[in-house]
Amino acid sequence: MGASERFDRYMEHLSEGLGHLDRHAGLKGYCTGLMLPLSRKSVEPMAARVDPMHASARHQSLHHFVAKAQWSDAEMLRRVAQWVVPQMDFSRGGWWIIDDTGFPKKGKHSVGVARQYCGMLGKQDNCQVAVSVSLACDQGSVPVAWQLYLPEDWSKDLVRRRVAGVPEEVHFATKTQIALAQLRTLLAEGAPHHCVLADAGYGVDAGFRQTLSDMGLLYAVGVTSAVAVWPPGVEPLPPKRYSGRGRPPVMPRRTARLQPMSVKALALSLPAQAFHTISWREGTNEPLSGRFAALRVRHAGGNAGKARLRSLEWLLVEWPADQAEPTKYVLSTLPEDTPLNELVAAAHQRWRIERDYQDLKQDFGLGHYEGRGWRGFHHHASLSIAAYGFLMTERLIADKPVGSKKNFIERQVPAVPKDYIPRGAPARAAARGPFDHDATPSPELRTDRPSRAVPLLWQSKRKTTFVTQ
């Protein structure tokens, strides 16, 4: 079976969750457009490329499908996972990766837009921010949950909420609260208890880490240099004896000698022999490696150490040889007997979500949606993830890079007529260059890989669940 036939089967699988047969053409047309080599993957240029002879009508139908039609983006992501996850090899472990990404945006009417930190720009600016959870293994990763972060001023603005179509049940929640809710939903559907990875924006929140532990999830999350810990060999005194009045004391007692310290101060106090050079994966030109030290510590609760005594966990410190001080700190509840190289490898699996975002934005139009509404924002994102998920599955099946990812889709759609003028363009717009549809043969992807036991997803009569075989 060729890639084109698998794409048709994939579309059939996804369309079963749309609810109405008249939405199937919109699904295939939209996903096809997202996988084409267009500079801008908003509705109009995709419609013109997918159906150039009926561009106006196709534009209206695609716009209705993504912005107005009442299908579930959450169900779409579940069906994407059902297709992708069976091709992923979890024999060496899996990870849940939490992160958020920003989309620069002008004005104030697009849903959730506000002046806030935008990772894409590396600074505060007007943007939208979405929180996601990805499922990852050594081979790759795929987003399985996605939600727009709604700033507090937006959540209280009834007029803007109504115009943007924000659901009544959506209220203000921090990014960590959104991520935890996403994980709870996944676990309730039967998802496996993999280790959770996140950067310091999430890991610095002690309540976030404690909730992960309460949910039965291990974690390896970044923290800032100011986080306070009890260093190895330093145990605080137990809390004061309960007097019988008020709440029982829970805060460990400190003395002039028994004091927590910041992870930065602790790292700087370590001898040089505590650091080891570890390579965690192959880079583009050479293996990626760095200097690391790992030690068992207790988090002291906030930056002042005012909290109950925590369990022992790993503190992983990364200190490049050419830097004056450590650059990264990770707290992890991975087992005490975890080797240093495995700690390092787990902590550095988070790079996969950065690759997800890069591919989704550059190749699948994740940030190209031009509408203002809640539904359209989430529908477009889930369809971008659907297109990304199919091409990632093809790469997993074929054991080849994504470099040939668009050929078979490009061969299925007609060329843009030479006299086509996009809406809003000058009447004498320059002619478009010709497309050579036979430049690259449609790839035949190998499907004879040996079977292996992997986590599978299935759908019951009532709800879609994750099931581990």
Tokens found for residue 446 = 């190998």
Q: What percent of the chain has pLDDT over 90?
A: 61
**DSSP summary character for residue 406:** T
Give yes or no for residue 102 having a pLDDT over 90. yes
Distance between CA atoms of residues 376 and 165, nearest Å:
10
- The reply to whether the predicted model has a pTM over 0.85 is no
Give yes or no for residue 248 having a pLDDT over 80. no
What b/e readout covers 315-337, taking b as 16+ CB neighbours within 10 angstroms?
Answer: bbbbbeeeeeebebbbbbbbeee
| pLDDT at site 286 | 72
Distance between CA atoms of residues 46 and 173, nearest Å:
34
Asked if residue 151 lies in contact with residue 116, where contact means CB atoms within 8 angstroms, the answer is yes
Asked if residue 292 lies in contact with residue 340, where contact means CB atoms within 8 angstroms, the answer is yes
Residue of 413 and 244 predicted with greater confidence = 244
Q: Of the ranges 31-45, 310-324, 452-466, which one carries the lowest mean pLDDT score?
A: 452-466
Radius of gyration of the chain from Cα atoms? 25
| pLDDT at site 284 | 64
Asked if residue 401 lies in contact with residue 140, where contact means CB atoms within 8 angstroms, the answer is no
What's the mean pLDDT in 104-111?
Answer: 89
Q: For residue range 142-197, list pLDDT tens digits in order.
A: 999 999 999 999 999 999 999 999 999 999 999 999 999 999 999 999 999 999 99
Residue of 440 and 60 predicted with greater confidence = 60
Distance between CA atoms of residues 263 and 230, nearest Å:
9
* CA distances, 43 to each of 60, 120, 243 (Å): 9, 23, 68
Burial class from Cβ neighbours inside 10 Å (0-12, 13-18, 19+) for residue 448 reads exposed
CB within 8 Å of 277: residues ≥ 6 apart: 289, 290, 291, 292
| pLDDT at site 403 | 43
CA dihedral (56, 57, 61, 62) positive or negative? negative
3-state secondary structure of 261: strand
| 272 φ/ψ sector (left φ>0, alpha ψ -120 to 50, else beta) | alpha
pLDDT band of residue 300 (cuts 50, 70, 90) is confident
Give yes or no for residue 425 having a pLDDT over 50. no
* CA distances, 251 to each of 121, 306, 311 (Å): 41, 6, 14
Give yes or no for residue 376 having a pLDDT over 90. yes
Residue-range domain boundaries for the chain: 3-197+354-467, 198-233+258-350
| pLDDT at site 289 | 87
CA dihedral (397, 399, 401, 405) positive or negative? negative
Residue of 242 and 358 predicted with greater confidence = 358
Give yes or no for residue 77 having a pLDDT over 80. yes
Tokens found for residue 468 = 């581990």
pLDDT band of residue 61 (cuts 50, 70, 90) is very high
Return mean pLDDT, the chain. 83
Count CB-CB contacts under 10 A for residue 228: 22
| pLDDT at site 20 | 84
Burial class from Cβ neighbours inside 10 Å (0-12, 13-18, 19+) for residue 458 reads exposed
Backbone phi, psi, residue 70, to 5°: -95, 70
Give yes or no for residue 442 having a pLDDT over 50. no
Give yes or no for residue 402 having a pLDDT over 60. no
CB within 8 Å of 278: residues ≥ 6 apart: 289, 290, 291, 292, 340, 341, 344
Asked if residue 127 lies in contact with residue 377, where contact means CB atoms within 8 angstroms, the answer is no
Furthest-apart CA pair in the chain: how many Å?
Answer: 87
What's the mean pLDDT in 288-308?
Answer: 76
Asked if residue 138 lies in contact with residue 89, where contact means CB atoms within 8 angstroms, the answer is yes
What's the mean pLDDT in 213-231?
Answer: 94
- How far is Cα of residue 458 from the mean position of the Cα atoms in its chain? 22
What's the mean pLDDT in 252-261?
Answer: 77
Distance between CA atoms of residues 185 and 194, nearest Å:
14
| pLDDT at site 258 | 78
pLDDT band of residue 424 (cuts 50, 70, 90) is very low
DSSP result, 154-167: HHH-HHHHHHHT--
Distance between CA atoms of residues 432 and 420, nearest Å:
9
| pLDDT at site 154 | 93
The most confident of 36-40, 76-80, 284-288, 438-442, by mean pLDDT: 76-80
Give yes or no for residue 74 having a pLDDT over 80. yes
Q: For residue range 304-361, list pLDDT tens digits in order.
A: 445 566 789 999 999 999 999 999 999 999 999 999 999 999 999 998 888 889 999 9
Distance between CA atoms of residues 52 and 48, nearest Å:
5
The most confident of 17-21, 250-254, 405-409, by mean pLDDT: 17-21
**Amino acid making up residue 215:** M
Distance between CA atoms of residues 253 and 238, nearest Å:
6
Distance between CA atoms of residues 40 and 469, nearest Å:
41
Distance between CA atoms of residues 418 and 442, nearest Å:
25
